Amino acid sequence: MSIIGAETFKWEDADKRNNIMFRMPRNIRFNDNIVVREDEIAVFFRDGKVLAYIDRPDRYALTSINAPIVGPIVKFLSGVQQQAEVIYLQKRVFDGKFGSKQPYPFRDKEFGLVNLRAFGEFRYKISSPANFVNQFIGTLNFATSAEVEERIREQVVVLVYDVLGDMKNQGLGVADIASNLTTIEQVILSRSKDHFDLYGVLIDKISGLYISLPEEVQKAVDTRSSMQVLGANYIQYQTGQAMRDAAQNPSGGAAGAGVGVGAGIGMGWTMLDSMRQSQQVPPAAPPQAAIRCPKCGTQNLATNKFCAECGSPLTSTQTSKCPNCGADVPPRSKFCPSCGVNISSMKKCGNCGAEVPATSKFCPECGKPL
Ligand SMILES: [Zn+2]
Ligand SMILES: [Zn+2]
Ligand SMILES: [Zn+2]
């Protein structure tokens, strides 16, 4: 049955493509038809508010005959106000990329103020059609998917910076970032749930996170980590490096003066070598929990990744519980993969035994000073 003047609404493929939403240019009225396909939701919207939505695929005539499904919509289209807007939404997941426009100033204990930039990818979909439409169309009056995605992207960057800031307060330094990217991704993902609820958006994946450091800081971090492998620390390495540079410059430099170039180089390296040897017996090493090698039984330092005796990997299968949120934490992780709290910085309250962050001055459980 077709009624004169009635129109059929559908989301044309030409408008669809990679658009998460489409706002119909015409208003819908009583007796119009609306086509909803498998991967779509049709939202009826009026006066800045969602009236109802249909997410079952079919062709619906907006007449009283179809009351079970379109009844509430038909009701909205009768009486004084007889029109509503139709907004189509896609159900599928979308991929987006984020990247910071402004650098994030990160105050690092070793390197001072470091400008970070973060890049990565996220996957998202609409989790609540009503929130999505209210937020993007009702509040912000967005009409295109590009505007929506831009907004989500900006919010993801805000979230990345929030997480980095909190983890920094938990003891994360720029030199730890590279080895904690997966944890950082997970913390961003778990925090995104609450953050994007209001937007009617669910972020279901954060991947490819890359945090770039200024070139000179990156160099220093790289140098330092390669020196840690050798057992020498960064300052000692620099001393050795400076002596070698001086030696290679015969016209000046203390090490080069009076001695041959070869001797100078030798001296630099001998010095570095003796420093390295003196490093091997740290004078007052903090006591560390030992890890027993599962293969040969040797007790190893908790920081060892491989057995000092037989070389077997020391991967303890024991996960621990995060004292902050209770999530399972993989062995020897510094940060909780769920909430980002610094596990190694928790301490026990002497009065009630509660686990509290090492930076707390008072126990949040019993209030006693720590
Ligand atoms: Zn062993
Ligand atoms: Zn946690
Ligand atoms: Zn306490």
- Mean pLDDT, residues 211-227 taken together: 84
* Mean pLDDT computed over every residue of the chain: 79
Model confidence at 227, in pLDDT bands (50, 70, 90)?
A: low
Beta pairing partners, 358: none
Q: Of the bound ligands, which one is closest to the alpha carbon of residue 365? A: 3
Higher pLDDT, 60 or 131: 131
Q: Is 88 in contact with 21 (CB distance < 8 Å)?
A: yes
Model confidence at 94, in pLDDT bands (50, 70, 90)?
A: very high
Question: Minimal CA–CA distance to 243: which of 224, 265, 260?
Answer: 265
- What is the Cα–Cα distance from 291 to 283, expressed in whole angstroms? 21
pLDDT value of residue 285: 46
Q: Of the bound ligands, which one is closest to the alpha carbon of residue 187? A: 2
- What is the Cα–Cα distance from 284 to 187, expressed in whole angstroms? 35
Of 87-91, 229-233, 271-275, the range with the highest mean pLDDT is: 87-91
Of 234-243, 253-262, 263-272, the range with the highest mean pLDDT is: 234-243
- Cα-to-centroid distance, 246 and ligand 2 (Å): 50
- Cα-to-centroid distance, 215 and ligand 2 (Å): 32
279 pLDDT above the threshold of 80: no
What confidence tens digit (pLDDT) does each residue in 321-332 have? 887 888 888 766
242 pLDDT above the threshold of 90: no
- What is the Cα–Cα distance from 292 to 300, expressed in whole angstroms? 6
Q: Is 32 in contact with 8 (CB distance < 8 Å)?
A: yes
80 pLDDT above the threshold of 70: no
- What is the Cα–Cα distance from 348 to 366, expressed in whole angstroms? 12
For the ranges 20-34, 141-155, 156-170, 294-308, the lowest mean pLDDT is seen at 294-308
For the ranges 30-44, 66-80, 87-101, 108-122, the lowest mean pLDDT is seen at 66-80
- Cα-to-centroid distance, 294 and ligand 1 (Å): 7
269 pLDDT above the threshold of 60: no
- Cα-to-centroid distance, 281 and ligand 1 (Å): 21
Model confidence at 206, in pLDDT bands (50, 70, 90)?
A: very high
Beta pairing partners, 113: 107
Q: Of the bound ligands, which one is closest to the alpha carbon of residue 354? A: 3
For the ranges 72-76, 139-143, 321-325, 353-357, the lowest mean pLDDT is seen at 72-76
- What is the Cα–Cα distance from 263 to 254, expressed in whole angstroms? 12
Q: Of the bound ligands, which one is closest to the alpha carbon of residue 335? A: 2
- Cα-to-centroid distance, 301 and ligand 1 (Å): 12
Of 13-27, 216-230, 318-332, the range with the highest mean pLDDT is: 13-27
What confidence tens digit (pLDDT) does each residue in 112-157 have? 999 999 999 999 999 999 999 988 888 888 878 888 889 999 999 9
- What is the Cα–Cα distance from 98 to 116, expressed in whole angstroms? 14
- What is the Cα–Cα distance from 304 to 231, expressed in whole angstroms? 13
- Cα-to-centroid distance, 355 and ligand 3 (Å): 8
pLDDT value of residue 257: 44
- What is the Cα–Cα distance from 11 to 91, expressed in whole angstroms? 13
- Cα-to-centroid distance, 360 and ligand 3 (Å): 11
- Mean pLDDT, residues 217-237 taken together: 70
Model confidence at 66, in pLDDT bands (50, 70, 90)?
A: low
- What is the Cα–Cα distance from 220 to 238, expressed in whole angstroms? 10
Other CB atoms within a 10 A radius of the CB of residue 59 amount to 12
pLDDT value of residue 275: 53
pLDDT value of residue 155: 93
69 pLDDT above the threshold of 80: no
- What is the Cα–Cα distance from 206 to 22, expressed in whole angstroms? 26
Q: Of the bound ligands, which one is closest to the alpha carbon of residue 326? A: 2
- Cα-to-centroid distance, 314 and ligand 1 (Å): 8
Model confidence at 208, in pLDDT bands (50, 70, 90)?
A: very high
- Mean pLDDT, residues 204-209 taken together: 96
Model confidence at 165, in pLDDT bands (50, 70, 90)?
A: very high
